[in-house]
Amino acid sequence: MIRIRNLNKPKTMEEAWEIYSNKNKAKLIAGGAFLRLSTDLYIGEAVDLFDLNLNGIKETEDAFTVGAMTTLRQLETDSALNSWFDNYFAAALKNIVGVQLRNIATIGGTVYPRYGFSDLITALLALDVDLQFYKSGRISLEDYMEKGLLEKDILVEIIIKKNINNASFKMMRNSKGDYAILNCGVSCIHGKYRIAIGGRPGRAVLATDAMEILNAAEKIDEDIIGKACNAAAELAYGTNIFGSGQYRSAMSKVLLKRGIREVLGNDN
């Protein structure tokens, strides 16, 4: 159950920041989808982000800018975005629970907490993505995933750059409603491969050794793909109720091989 003492509905970012930064036990509320799972959560000052005009996807020449209150379903179904990325987002998001949840869950409520099980974060990390925070400014998703922020902040929007040739998202889950046991995003940016692996079950990370193997190769054949997959299998994988670390490590080779082949296939 969630108990809220004051529900604030600010109309400007400054107003939201004022309450969030100054009040003890203040909590930002996006869709409330994840927060509502709490068994006993007391929020002194709830800051509802709904009226801040943070919802929507804008396309420019270089990037798609996605407001923090945009829902997963909007990303999944946006025709311009999915046309540019060849349905990459539709593939990454379609297995998350059901349409109702994806109509509620937001980009901000997903990216800011850096959930380890997230399909969206893995998909974004495999692309060239920046985050715009209200106070901390603009930082890359890669840095944010590694280091987080020094102080709490409000995520305003994410910027997905339009510099990739193609990308592939693969995941493994036991049933549609489950969290992924493992997920993997592969992309090719200016001829350089980029691989993100998530659901390990820790936070998504870049598989840098595997990327180096692919990027150093003159020609990517099955031998090179095998070496890259073996390197990715050496990442740290943990155990939870969905699968063991050993199983995840073995699965990483399968998902990554499929992802690389798909990206290569589209390249040729």
Q: Which residues of the shown chain bind ligand FAD in the complex (CB under 6 A)?
A: 27-35, 37, 49, 68, 72, 96-97, 101, 104-106, 108-110, 112-113, 115, 117-120, 154-155, 179-180
Kindly state the tokens that stand for 92: 């990454």
- Taking alpha carbons only, the member of 180, 215, 181 closest to residue 195 is 215
Tell the smallest beta-carbon distance from residue 171 to ligand FAD (Å): 9
The end-to-end CA distance of the chain, in Å, is: 53
| Least gap, CB of 217 to ligand FAD (angstroms) | 32
Cα 66 to Cα 158: distance, rounded to the nearest angstrom: 5
Distance CA 172, CA 201 (A): 12
What order of strands is seen across the sheet that includes strand 41-48? Answer: 2-8, 41-48, 26-29
Q: 169 or 237, CB closer to ligand FAD? A: 169
Q: Is 130 helix (H, G, I), strand (E, B) or coil?
A: strand
Return the number of other C-beta atoms located less than 10 Å from residue 36's C-beta: 12
At closest approach, how far in Å is the CB of 60 from ligand FAD? Answer: 21
- Least distance to ligand FAD from the beta carbon of 127, Å? 16
Burial class of 107 by CB neighbour count within 10 A (0 to 12, 13 to 18, 19+):
buried
Cβ-closest position to ligand FAD: 109
Residue with Cβ nearer ligand FAD (201 or 259): 201
Q: Which is nearer to ligand FAD, 27 or 261 (CB)?
A: 27
Query: Given the complex with ligand FAD, which of 103 and 165 has the nearer CB atom?
Result: 103
Q: Which is nearer to ligand FAD, 121 or 207 (CB)?
A: 121
* CB of 53 vs ligand FAD, minimal distance in Å: 12
